[in-house]
Structure 1
Amino acid sequence: MKYKSLIVSIAVGATLAFSAITANAAELRLGTASQGGAFYPVGQAISTLVSKHAGDGITMVPIVTEGSVQNPRLLGSGEVDAGITNNNLAVLANKNIGPYKDAGLDLRAIGTLHPSILHMMVLDNSDIKSIADLKGKRVAVGPAGGGTIPFLNAILALEGLTSDDITPSFVSYEDGFSQLSDGIVDASFALSGFPAGAVMQAKASAKLRFLNLSEAQLAALKEKTPAYGSFTVDPDVYDTDEAGLVVGVSNVLVVNASMDEDTAYRIAKAVYGNMDEFRTENALAKQIDPALSMQLAIPLHAGAERFFKE
């Protein structure tokens, strides 16, 4: 009888131990973007760091999505547990305006990431010299839910144009720049870190040129949306004859405000506590200044804030 009781006790104890391990284990889904841009490989590196260093059975997998506009929505629906988006979109999401009207989102930052610039590129011999010249042209604009779209609308508005004045091609950045090099579209846009894989592949078979913004146009964009910034892309990045003068924005790793503090802390520590490894995994991580995480346009999650204060 005592022997039987001992067997039962061991079985119950093992079950409880297994349950505790299962409760602590979590596979987190990270919303990135389409392949060919920068978010997916950056997301791969983040997922590797979290799976390796977060502990307590926490792992992370990168998920292909439509990009920075869609990722906050996926967080709201619970389809992903973390996401990469643009600083300006995170603000709109928390205000529930723009593409997030009545979405009921409440996001918190884990930390800052690399900047994304708006690649506006044409073939070097193209007769498109300005934004106004895009009227009536075929333009690859990225995925329908990607971060390029708000920038595209703002850029076109500088010349009194709308998306109705172009023929848009809603494809991945990789396909969009492939279409540009093949002459299927007249221009291709991509909001991405640089160098972007999609552009690198295209420039291997065709000489490209930036469709540059003027200083006045950049100033007008930044006045309307303070989260925007201006960036210069050196000619040797994409073998262009001239540097690119472009608009861009900082990116941010975000989660729902409801994520428990310990998990958010472990994610932040796994990523930003291992920056040398992050920079080895992904070249764009060299552009990340973790200290800027304290200056983002949305609040840090309490767990991430605890990490950065430590």
Structure 2
Amino acid sequence: MTKLIKAAAIWLIIANPLLSQAAELRIGTASLGGAFYPMGQTISNLVNKYGTQGSSMVPIVTGGSVQNPRLLGSGEVDIAITNNNLAALAVKGVGAYKSGSIDMSAVAALHPSVLHMIVMKGSDIKTIEDLKGKRVAVGSAGGGTLGFLNFLLPLHDMSLEDMTPSFLSYSDGFSQLSDGAIDAAFALSGYPAGAVMQAAASNDLAFISFSDGMLEKALEANPVYSGVFIPKDVYGTESAGLAIGVNNMLIVSNSTSPEIVEDILHSIFDHLDEFAAQNANAKQIIPEMSLELSIPLHPGAERYFEARKALY
């Protein structure tokens, strides 16, 4: 009888591939101290609470938005967070993904990430050019912060070799900024970013600015980016920060069941008020932006957003 039960269970899974995916889904986020990990944690909470397909979800600490498409491609995570620019590169197999394109598609737009460029108040670092010869926390080696810097620095006729970079998590980077071990810290994150908030709790911080015309030059070089104002009351700075930013998205492998993807979207976007109550960055999510992402939507996402078009 036991053998018959086991055989029936195996047959049921083979006959219904959806059941074989009804397991623990791993969502790739980033290092602690940024916005991706708490975003993934909140998404996991909602899927675990409202999902109907039998799958649970757990957030995984990763190197961040650059590494996440690779982890998705290798099967180390099942769903992940990255940004518009990197998603397009991953699908094309260029830039950071020139070793091979990744078979993935979009699930939904999330909050925007902005490049926090932070120093202690009173620092002699005012613009990106002033970073020459300085000790700078640039995020983890697989994170989006480093990708942004590798884009911005050449526009300023600079490279990482012009400074002393420290490849640290956001938490560690801003902790070292507070301790005076480094001169500046960068973090590509939604705002408010936990690591920056922690540093601001006991220190007066200041934003590094773009010198005249440099932000416009950057936006012209890559139109997927945008300028973002960070109000001064977010981190208690004397003035607002003008940062460069990019929209984020959820991604999955193309082989993921459409039913699973649609269930994830019902879990998070059908409960957007609860999402925003649990996560401050979720307040910045505009669901209809999911129709304007840099890579195609997964069929399950297409089905979900097609049904919601009347609401937009």
Given that 1:73 and 1:103 are in contact with CA atoms closer than 8 Å, whether structure 2 keeps it comes out as: no
Aligned residue for 2:16?
A: none
1:231 to 225, 228, 252: 228
Structure 1 residue 167: Cα displacement: 0.2
User: What residue identity is the alignment partner of 1:229?
Assistant: S
Structure 1 residue 207: Cα displacement: 0.6
1:77-88 aligned at under 5 Å gives the runs 77-88=74-85
Structure 2 portions without partners, runs of 5+: 14-18, 308-312
Aligned residue for 2:205?
A: 208
SS at match of 1:293: helix
Given that 2:94 and 2:101 are in contact with CA atoms closer than 8 Å, whether structure 1 keeps it comes out as: no
1:39-78 aligned at under 5 Å gives the runs 39-78=36-75
Question: TM (normalized to structure 2)?
Answer: 0.93
2:279 to 279, 282, 304: 282
User: What residue identity is the alignment partner of 1:253?
Assistant: L
SS at match of 1:191: strand
Given that 1:32 and 1:65 are in contact with CA atoms closer than 8 Å, whether structure 2 keeps it comes out as: yes
Given that 2:53 and 2:260 are in contact with CA atoms closer than 8 Å, whether structure 1 keeps it comes out as: no
Structure 1 residue 50: Cα displacement: 1.4
Aligned residue for 1:301?
A: 298
Residues 211-256 of structure 1, C-alpha deviations (whole Å, 9 max, x = no match): 0124621111111111101000111000000110010000000011
User: What residue identity is the alignment partner of 1:55?
Assistant: T
Aligned residue for 1:266?
A: 263
| Separation in 2, partners of 1:18, 1:77 | 25
Aligned residue for 1:131?
A: 128
Residues 152-180 of structure 1, C-alpha deviations (whole Å, 9 max, x = no match): 12222232110010100000001101111
| Separation in 2, partners of 1:82, 1:305 | 16
Given that 2:110 and 2:282 are in contact with CA atoms closer than 8 Å, whether structure 1 keeps it comes out as: yes
Aligned residue for 1:251?
A: 248
- With 211-220 and 25-34 compared, the bigger mean Cα shift is at 211-220
User: What residue identity is the alignment partner of 1:147?
Assistant: G
Superposition RMSD in Å: 1.7
Residues 34-84 of structure 1, C-alpha deviations (whole Å, 9 max, x = no match): 110000000000111112222121111100000000000001100000000
Residue correspondences, number: 302
| Separation in 2, partners of 1:43, 1:232 | 24
Of the two, which has the highest radius of gyration?
1
2:108 is aligned with 1:105: no
Residues 58-112 of structure 1, C-alpha deviations (whole Å, 9 max, x = no match): 1111000000000000011000000000110000101100110032312211100
1:176-195 aligned at under 5 Å gives the runs 176-195=173-192
Could you say if the C-alpha distance between residues 104 and 24 of structure 1 is closer, same or farther in structure 2, counting changes exceeding 3 Å?
Answer: closer
Structure 1 residue 23: Cα displacement: 3.4
User: What residue identity is the alignment partner of 1:287?
Assistant: Q
SS at match of 1:136: coil
Could you say if the C-alpha distance between residues 18 and 88 of structure 1 is closer, same or farther in structure 2, counting changes exceeding 3 Å?
Answer: same
Structure 1 portions without partners, runs of 5+: 1-7
| Separation in 2, partners of 1:267, 1:18 | 25
Aligned residue for 1:16?
A: 8
Aligned residue for 1:159?
A: 156
| Separation in 1, partners of 2:300, 2:289 | 16
2:19 is aligned with 1:27: no
User: What residue identity is the alignment partner of 1:68?
Assistant: S
| Separation in 2, partners of 1:28, 1:19 | 22
Could you say if the C-alpha distance between residues 53 and 168 of structure 1 is closer, same or farther in structure 2, counting changes exceeding 3 Å?
Answer: same
1:199 to 189, 196, 199: 196
Given that 1:141 and 1:170 are in contact with CA atoms closer than 8 Å, whether structure 2 keeps it comes out as: yes
